[in-house]
């Protein structure tokens, strides 16, 4: 069927609008069998599909929204590197991210253990990399921002595709291979709803009910019949599988209209017995069809409705702090900063520094110093830090009777719990003086350290950094005292230095994934 022959069947106004490229408007109401008021010109006057990309669900945003926890992971043995984000308040999304990372690590077929790198590794630069899901696979394996060690192995990278309404969509790409050969390259799209905590994979074909392609096809054919001026039959013969494929493809690649409906571009080749009876063999060009908001909702599954309703809206923002994200220290190289003997005159300053850097630490506090400092304790808990007992008066527990040692540690724990509204589960013996009998009597893990900065000897700020940042291993516990001004003054640089080496800063309990074993604990590994 030629363009001229269909032109004969159409009124001049429709012809002016461009016969086969015309936009049809569908509504929620059942399609009328009566000859339709032909080809509403209003819809052809409205923006063409290309013009609505700003509101489309697929619109790309290159800036990561505020409040996400930007991450990076690197491992030589597993030949693995990853850039990713966690979303505070959506643990389900974060578990999907961890699963994606583990799957990529598994590709290496090597046993895995978290690793940190020497200073100057540059791993403090974290989070998604703009455009990296569109780079060539070899570029992902070669660029310093994303490459695995030695530029071969597995690389995971991410891109925030959209953040609108309450929904964030993040694409995660896994590439494996070398500069000579790429053996694996997949990109998966995930969504997270910061309001409901829902999360999952976005499969564009699963956003629609199974009946949607047939409905779209039927309405399109009826409109083409109406556009020809013929009477529209009440029902049509069922579409062939190839006709349904055209409609399915149009739905998957549809874009959102500003009013919440969709534009679906049905490819050339639409045909039906009814059209053929009218002398219309097959459409030769794409037929853009506009589907109303209500109809699109009826055709959509739940996730499809959520994505379309949130699209184009202002992002509501991440409400939970990044400290709420549960980090897996079997996957990430974790380290615990600990501060003893406070609260003191510099504790509030230290909290401000750690808050600005989104870093978590553990404070072993002296019970007698708690009164008058309750607000500082509450602030520490609110910022995601952990508090532990350091006895009432900083006594050497090994010089006490068992019952007095036990009550000393427990009284301080009680005072800290009362002030902070958070149960204390750990203690640190002053001077590290402890034995197994005391641990059993106290019945709490005794937290020691793997790195002693000796900050109480006042070695100076540069020395404090040298004694902490370069020497700690994954799973390590670093000892500082927040009653020394130099220790507090270098905290920001210590945090940045550790992150540069690839570390995650966690509390002692997080270092053990919430299950600190009873006993004398100096490090995780
Ligand atoms: Ni102490």
Report CA(5)–ligand 1 centroid distance (Å): 93
494 alpha carbon – ligand 1 mean position (Å) = 20
Cβ atoms of residues 44 and 51 within 8 Å: no
Query: Which of the four pLDDT bands, split at 50, 70 and 90, describes residue 16?
Result: very low
Catalytic residue list contains 340: yes
Please say if 481 is a catalytic residue. yes
Nearest to 241 by CA among 275, 269, 281: 269
Is there a contact between 70 and 82 (Cβ–Cβ < 8 Å)? no
Strand order through the sheet with 80-86: 69-75, 80-86, 153-164, 167-177, 182-193, 199-201
What is the distance in A from the centroid of ligand 1 to the CA of 450?
15
The average pLDDT across 256-268 equals 93
Residue 150 has pLDDT above 90, yes or no: yes
Span of 11-15, 67-71, 129-133, 358-362 with lowest mean pLDDT: 11-15
Exposed/middle/buried for 174, CB within 10 Å: 0-12, 13-18, 19+? Answer: buried
> What predicted TM-score, i.e. pTM, was given to this entire model?
0.84
What is the pLDDT of the chain when averaged over all its residues?
89
Q: Determine the pLDDT at residue 354.
A: 97
How far, in Å, CA of 441 to CA of 246, rounded? 73
% of the chain at pLDDT higher than 70: 88
The answer to whether residues 508 and 477 touch, using CB atoms and an 8 Å cutoff, is: yes
Phi-psi region of 469 (alpha: psi -120 to 50; beta: other; left: phi over 0): alpha
pLDDT of res. 206: 92
Contact 383, 422 (CB under 8 A): no
Residue 317 buriedness (CB in 10 A; 0-12 / 13-18 / 19+) = exposed
**Cα 330 to middle of ligand 1, angstroms:** 29
- Ligand 1 centroid – CA 339 distance (Å): 9
Could you give the CA distance from residue 255 to residue 252 in angstroms, rounded to a whole number? 9
d(CA 147, CA 138): 9
Tell me what the mean pLDDT of segment 507-525 comes to.
Answer: 95
Cα separations in angstroms, 54 against 68, 221, 343: 23, 29, 52
CA atoms within 13 A on the CB side of 381: 17
Q: What's the 346 CA to ligand 1 centre distance in angstroms?
A: 15
Active-site hit among 193, 340, 408, 482: 340
- Cβ burial, residue 144 (10 Å; 0-12/13-18/19+): exposed
Distance CA 225, CA 243 (A): 16
Q: How far is the CA of 434 from the centre of ligand 1 (A)?
A: 13
Q: Could you please report the per-residue DSSP string of 96-144? A: HHHHHHHHHHHTTTS--------TT--TTS-S--TTTTTS-HHHHHHST
What is the Å distance from ligand 1's center to 394 Cα?
6
For the segment 279-293, the average pLDDT, to the nearest whole number, is 94
Q: What is the pLDDT of residues 196-242, one digit of tens each?
A: 999 999 998 899 999 999 999 999 999 999 999 999 999 999 999 99
Q: From CA 524, how far away is CA 114, in angstroms rounded?
A: 11
- Considering only 21-25, 298-302, 382-386, 513-517, which range has the smallest mean pLDDT? 21-25
- Catalytic residue of the set 481, 482, 484, 500: 481
Residue 24, pLDDT above cutoff 80:
no
177 φψ region: left (φ > 0), alpha (ψ -120 to 50), beta (else): left
In three-state secondary structure terms, 512 is: coil
3-state secondary structure of 380: helix
Q: 504 CA distance to ligand 1 centroid (A)? A: 25
Give pLDDT, residue 388. 98
Q: What is the structure's pLDDT at 205?
A: 86
Any idea which of 85-99, 316-330, 487-501 has the lowest mean pLDDT? Answer: 316-330
How far away, in angstroms, is 430 Cα from ligand 1 center?
Answer: 5
Q: How confident is the model at residue 61, as a pLDDT? A: 53
Q: What is the per-residue pLDDT across 415-449, written as a single tens digit (0 to 9) for each?
A: 999 999 999 999 999 999 999 999 999 999 999 99
pLDDT at 114: 96
The widest CA-to-CA distance across the chain, in whole angstroms, is: 106
Q: Is 462 exposed, middle or buried, given 0-12, 13-18 or 19+ CB atoms closer than 10 A?
A: exposed
Distance 366 CA to ligand 1 centre (A): 8
Residues 394-412 pLDDT 10s: 999 999 999 999 999 999 9
Pairing of strands 24-26, 287-291: parallel
* 403 Cα: distance to centroid of ligand 1 (angstroms): 21
CA 390 to ligand 1 centroid distance, Å: 7
Phi, psi of 251 (to 5 degrees): -70, -45
Between the CA of 299 and the centroid of ligand 1 the distance, in Å, is 65
């Amino acid at each position: 069927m030629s363009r001229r022959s269909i032109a004969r069947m159409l009124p001049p106004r429709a012809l002016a609008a461009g016969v086969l490229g015309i936009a049809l408007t569908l509504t929620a109401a059942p399609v009328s069998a009566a000859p339709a008021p032909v080809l509403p010109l209003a819809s052809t006057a409205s923006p063409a599909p290309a013009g609505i990309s700003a509101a489309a669900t697929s619109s790309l945003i290159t800036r990561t929204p505020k409040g996400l926890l930007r991450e990076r992971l690197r491992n030589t043995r597993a030949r693995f590197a990853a850039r990713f984000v966690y979303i505070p308040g959506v643990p389900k999304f974060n578990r999907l991210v961890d699963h994606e990372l583990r799957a990529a690590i598994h590709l290496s077929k090597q046993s895995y253990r978290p690793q940190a790198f020497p200073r100057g590794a540059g791993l403090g630069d974290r989070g998604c990399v703009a455009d990296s899901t569109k780079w060539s696979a070899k570029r992902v394996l070669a660029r310093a921002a994303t490459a695995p060690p030695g530029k071969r192995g597995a690389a995971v990278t991410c891109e925030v595709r959209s953040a609108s309404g309450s929904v964030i969509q993040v694409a995660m790409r896994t590439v494996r291979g070398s500069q000579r050969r790429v053996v694996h390259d997949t990109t998966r799209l995930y969504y997270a709803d910061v309001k409901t905590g829902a999360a999952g994979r976005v499969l564009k074909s699963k956003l629609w009910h199974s009946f949607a392609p047939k409905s779209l096809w039927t309405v399109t054919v009826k409109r083409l019949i109406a556009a020809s001026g013929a009477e529209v039959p009440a029902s049509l013969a069922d579409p062939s599988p190839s006709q349904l494929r055209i409609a399915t493809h149009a739905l998957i690649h549809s874009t959102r209209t500003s009013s919440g409906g969709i534009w679906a571009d049905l490819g050339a080749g639409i045909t039906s017995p009814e059209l053929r009876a009218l002398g219309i063999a097959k459409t030769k060009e794409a037929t853009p069809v506009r589907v109303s908001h209500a109809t699109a909702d009826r055709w959509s599954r739940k996730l499809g409705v959520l994505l379309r309703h949130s699209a184009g809206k202002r992002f509501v923002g991440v409400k939970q702090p990044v400290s709420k994200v549960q980090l897996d220290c079997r996957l990430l190289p974790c380290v615990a900063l600990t501060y003893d003997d406070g609260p003191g005159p510099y504790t509030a300053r230290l909290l401000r520094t750690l808050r600005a850097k989104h870093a978590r630490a553990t404070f072993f506090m002296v019970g007698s110093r708690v009164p008058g400092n309750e607000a500082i304790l509450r602030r520490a808990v609110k910022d995601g830090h952990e508090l532990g007992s350091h006895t009432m008066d900083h006594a050497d527990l090994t010089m006490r009777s068992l019952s007095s040692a036990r009550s000393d540690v427990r009284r301080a724990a009680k005072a800290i719990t009362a002030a902070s509204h958070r149960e204390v589960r750990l203690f640190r013996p002053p001077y590290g003086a402890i034995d197994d009998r005391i641990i059993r009597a106290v019945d709490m893990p005794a937290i020691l350290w793997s790195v002693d900065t000796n900050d109480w000897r006042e070695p100076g700020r540069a020395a404090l950094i040298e004694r902490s940042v370069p020497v700690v291993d994954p799973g390590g516990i670093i000892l500082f005292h927040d009653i020394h001004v130099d220790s507090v003054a270098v905290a920001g640089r210590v945090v940045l230095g550790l992150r540069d080496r690839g570390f995650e800063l966690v509390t002692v309990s997080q270092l053990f994934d919430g299950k600190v074993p009873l006993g004398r604990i100096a490090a995780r590994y």
